């Protein structure tokens, strides 16, 4: 009978440690990535990601293009807005798109290595796809967002991706690296589109 309290205390201690080790899921966050050519560090632009519940908005900004993708993981379509000079376009597409490449392999390439990005310790993993494209990813298991697929390739990654290099079959690898993370609440207006400003295209 005297062993029962000790056994219960041991179970409680184990349970608390397990809870503390779990990834923290956040329902709202904003991420800003710098985009560079990884072979010469030339800056290409920025990518901003907003997550609020099931909603996600990504903004890709370069010298020639300002493009936003709006989607909800509970829906089957997404909206894309493109601002190119004085032209403004709106397109509704199936999301995720059909005929996506298949994931061939997923493995850690440097199991004992870590990198600190915007204050979070990150692990690495490499994804190879059936179209020949390779993603080299750094992610943290300390935190995860309710929408992780701001890149569809991140679906199987067990944490929040804070840096990734896309290696195409031809051309230069492109590095996306987080330079800022904000866990403050995000206004719903971030996900509104003023359709009167855009020309609809198929």
Residue 68 domain-assigned (yes or no): yes
Give dist(CA 84, CA 193) in Å, integer: 17
| Residue 12, domain member (yes or no) | no
For the residues 91-117, what does the mean pLDDT come to? 89
Tell me, yes or no, whether 91 lies in a domain. yes
Rg (the chain; Cα; Å): 20
pTM of the shown model: 0.86
pLDDT at residue 4 is higher than 80: no
Domain that holds residue 94: 24-201
Q: Helix H segments across 55-176? A: none
User: Is residue 13 in a domain?
Assistant: no
Position 3 in a domain: no
Residues 33-42 pLDDT 10s: 999 997 777 8
Is residue 185 in a domain?
Answer: yes
Region 53-81 average pLDDT: 97
Give 129-154 as a DSSP string.
ETTS-EEEEEEESSEEES--TTSGGG
19 assigned to some structural domain? no
Number of structural domains (the chain) is 1
* Residue 8 domain flag: no
Closest CA to 88 of 107, 67, 104: 67
CATH number of the domain bearing residue 193: 2.50.20.10
- Tens of pLDDT, residue by residue over 121-174, are 999 999 999 999 999 999 999 999 999 999 999 999 999 999 999 999 998 999
């Amino acid at each position: 009978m005297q062993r029962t309290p000790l056994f219960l205390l041991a179970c409680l201690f184990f349970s608390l440690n397990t809870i503390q080790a779990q990834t923290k899921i956040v329902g709202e966050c904003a991420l800003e990535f710098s985009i560079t050519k990884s072979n010469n560090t030339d800056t290409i632009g920025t990518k901003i990601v907003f997550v609020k519940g099931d909603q996600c908005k990504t903004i890709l900004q370069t010298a020639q293009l300002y493009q936003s993708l709006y989607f909800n993981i509970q829906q089957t379509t997404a909206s894309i807005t493109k601002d190119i000079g004085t032209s403004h376009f709106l397109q509704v597409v199936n999301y995720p798109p059909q005929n996506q490449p298949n994931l061939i392999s997923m493995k850690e390439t440097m199991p004992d290595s870590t990198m600190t990005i915007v204050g979070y310790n990150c692990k690495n993993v490499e994804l190879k796809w059936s179209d020949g494209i390779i993603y080299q990813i750094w992610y943290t298991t300390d935190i995860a967002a309710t929408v992780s697929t701001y890149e569809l390739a991140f679906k199987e990654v067990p944490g929040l991706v804070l840096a990734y290099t896309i290696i195409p079959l031809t051309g230069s690898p492109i590095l996306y690296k987080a330079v800022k993370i904000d866990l403050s609440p995000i206004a719903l207006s971030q996900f509104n589109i003023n359709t009167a400003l855009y020309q609809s295209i198929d």
